[in-house]
Amino acid sequence: MVEQVQGAGIRVEALAPQFQAQAQQWAARLGLPLVAENAEFAVQFGEDGLQIQQLGPQAPGPVRVDFVEGQAAHRRLFGGGSGQMIAKAVGIAQGVRPQVLDATAGLGKDAFVLASLGCQMTLIERQPLVAALLEDGLARAQGDGEVGAIVERMRLLGGNSIERMRNWEGEPPQVIYLDPMFPHRDKSALVKKEMRVFRPLVGDDLDAPALLEAALALATHRVVVKRPRKAPIIDGPKPSHSLEGKSSRYDIYPKKALKA
């Protein structure tokens, strides 16, 4: 499922001797070395699963996917349920739980929220390292009594989102959700640990217009695009309306009404 990583500067390492076998498996799958002296990043495997650590004296802590504890648990328990803006944006209502394709899944945070509210989710993540973290997080969450049932509603696909959508097989999703990486010029926007680690690896989604075009062609009911609140809309058709929060907004492109 996870493609091999292009480019040097990344090594794989076990955080303890008993995890050496898993580290070797991930190195083989990702096409990365176990030894690289000038590496800028380390993909590490330990008792908490898979994580990415930026190397160097000023580096932030490791990034991993955890659907059971931490931020995901807090949002699941106290995030506001179906009253959340993302729920309204994708069309969740009484008796309506649309099938959603998250075509820019990232670390799966938004997809997990929607799955926890009852949506059947398909996730696409094209950056192989991010997809690996997501796959590992989903696998670990399956064994949890409460969260296991939620991640059962989350199916992960690798590969290029645009190509996947253009060559879709099977029933098309009712709603497609996009959160493209926006070109940040404001230094304060990079403070988040995940952003500091991933921006050198992932870069910006400069093909966002093609992403939107493919999504509009495939979705049966609506496309939702998450943007920074003051960011311009993606080039292409204009959204019919937007839902605006403190730091972000949801641009909504309706095609057909969602019914119970």
Determine if residue 140 is labeled as part of a ligand binding site. no
Q: What is the dihedral of CA 94, 242, 125, 201, to 10 degrees?
A: -150
Annotated binding residue 244: no
**DSSP collapsed to 3 states, the chain:** CCCCCCCCCEEEEECCHHHHHHHHHHHHHHCCCCCCCCCCEEEEEECCEEEEEECCCCCCCCECCCCCCCHHHHHHHHCCHHHCHHHHHHCCECCECCCEEECCCCCCHHHHHHHHCCCCEEEECCCHHHHHHHHHHHHHHCCCCCHHHHHCCEEEECCCHHHHHHCCCCCCCCEEEECCCCCCCCHHHHCCHHHHHHHHHHCCCCCHHHHHHHHHHHCCCEEEEEEECCCCCCCCCCCCEEEECCCEEEEEEECCCCCC
125 is in an annotated binding site: yes
List the structure tokens of 218. Answer: 């495939």
Binding residues: 125-126, 179
Binding residues for S-adenosyl-L-methionine: 125-126, 179
